[in-house]
Chain A
Amino acid sequence: MSMLCLGIESTAHTFGCSVVNYDRGNYSNVSKDEFILSETRDVYKASAGWGIHPRDASKHHAQVATTILRKCLKDANIDIKNIDLISYSAGPGLGPCLRVGAVVSRSLASFYGIPLIPVNHAVGHIELGIKLTNLNSPLTLLVSGGHTMLLVYYRNKWRIFGETLDITLGQLFDQVGRKMGFASPCGSKIEELSGLSDGNSLHSLPYIIKGNDVSFSGLLSSVKSLLNDRSNHIYDICFSLQETAFAIIVEAVERALAFTGNKEFLIVGGVSANKRLSEMLNLACTAHGAVFNSCPLRYCGDNGAQIAWTGSQIYSSEQPHIVEPENASVNQSWRLDSVYIPWR
């Protein structure tokens, strides 16, 4: 027996589909990502100096939806009629984008009579990360364009140990990148430019940590004014930005490690692709006797496999939350710590 789940992701710039085999992921000794039968996505590209335009992005999603879905099923070598379950990302995210994914899944579910499950996008990030790194319940740092949160699992919920009080790490990098004329996401560009700095010319920037919470908005303003002064080298600014912003978040992680005594650490989300951040976190984990884990690069950005895997976990739990297609709505501000996790 095998349970096949189709996951559809469309919270922000990515439209993605994926088919996972839940039983293969759970019972057999299949290693790593072999339970993911296929994973296809297409990412909306903003124009230079701009971020995601919600209407434009949703238009993109609607245009690529059928192609991506077809390719996904073809890659998995599966007919839609054999799918046991459809899950879709119902939030948090951009309304127009979320609705595209919801419409696609709703239509498929009602036409083929397949059960439908809404999934929280952030939970998707965490659950797939844990599955792929084979961990139990790690202290988890979720860093992306939409989230900067430190999470601890306790009694059927992911509890927020610390989070950003204003903008996220991804937003900080994107806004700085956009000011320099790049199109978001700008993380990799900033990492690249930062590598060109000699590493000695560090600008002093606001270092804000309030208990376990962090704040980046003041840092953003300061970096913007540094960029206005043409006598500053752009790569020194990028270097200073990375060093300061990451030091803040790593200090928050360190505090959480010291406080909870957790020996497993996991980073998930788009920003986990940054090598310097991984390096810094690794040093902090080692100092506290914890093991550093990172979601594999291929799956750290938004993708359908996160949604499919989480959806099938919900479906197989004691409280499968199945919705009728007519009730399959989206929630732009669906907070992670309000999600009940029955399977963990």
Chain B
Amino acid sequence: MIREGTLLKKGAESELYLINWYGGHAVSKVRIRKDYRHPSIDVPLRKQRTIHEANILSQVKLLGIKAPFVYFLDISNFEIIMEYIQGKTIKDVFSPKLCTNVGKIIGTLHSNNIIHGDITTSNFIVSHDGVISLIDFGLSFISERYEDKAADIRLFKEVLNSINIEDFVESFENFCNGYNQTYTTVSSIIFKTVNDIEKRGRYSRSAL
């Protein structure tokens, strides 16, 4: 069992601590100051991202997606206190099969116009009972645009292609299948937009 007060994860923009919250476990996510960033950029950015994240965390619960419950929000401290979800990230226990469920989750989000903004394999937690939870909504936002949904998918595709190359084709196919199941109406247009975005990449004409 992890002790309270332990640093669970040091992410790129925040630190996650396991804390005691009224007798139970909770996670405190604090957005840390970035010394490299000018304060006029840093402070509003951290504030805005903290509020956004708490907001969207509450919204996704209504869609039936497993994500941490928000217990408390301390904006002056750029801190969210939320539910502690035990398990391993799909980065650690990766298998192409898991991608079907990832696709389903993202499809549900997108059909409700929520863009996660950071779909990487380290932001999905598999619990002991096999249920997948989605975490880290720090870069999330609301949008109806196919472009934004496609950009979201493109990131996941990029991650699969740079980390899990052997299983890339199978994994991405599974992801698309899952996505199709929960976002049936326009998924083909979105996948086409993913290709369009890739073609916009610099010097990518040669890859066609």
Contact = CB atoms under 8 A, between A and B. Distances in A.
Interface of A: 91-92, 146-147, 152, 154-155, 159-166, 168, 199, 202, 204, 207, 209-213, 243-244, 246-247, 250-251, 254-255, 257-259, 279-281, 283-284, 287-288, 331-336, 338
A154 B206 contact: no
B81 to A, nearest CB: 22
Nearest to B200: A165
A212 B36 CA distance: 18
A259 B202 contact: no
B37 to A, nearest CB: 5
A283 B35 contact: yes
A283 B36 contact: yes
Contact of A334 (B40, B155, B206): B206
A86 B169 CA distance: 38
B43 to A, nearest CB: 11
6 contacts: A211-B152, A211-B158, A251-B12, A255-B12, A284-B34, A332-B203
Contact of A212 (B13, B34, B155): B155
Given A160-B158, A211-B155, A280 B207 contact: no
A213 B162 contact: no
Contacts of B119: 211
Contacts of B154: 211, 213
Contacts of B202: 92, 146-147, 163-164, 168, 333, 335
Contact of B10 (A161, A165, A258): A258
Contacts of B165: 154-155, 159
A244 B41 contact: yes
Nearest to A147: B202
B35 A154 contact: no
Contacts of B11: 258
Contacts of A152: 162
B189 interface: no
B96 interface: no
B162 A335 contact: no
Q: Would you list the 10 A-B pairs with minimal beta carbon distance, nearest first?
A: A211-B155, A280-B36, A333-B203, A255-B12, A159-B162, A258-B12, A202-B40, A283-B36, A254-B12, A335-B203
B205 A333 contact: yes
Given A160-B162, A211-B119, A247 B203 contact: no
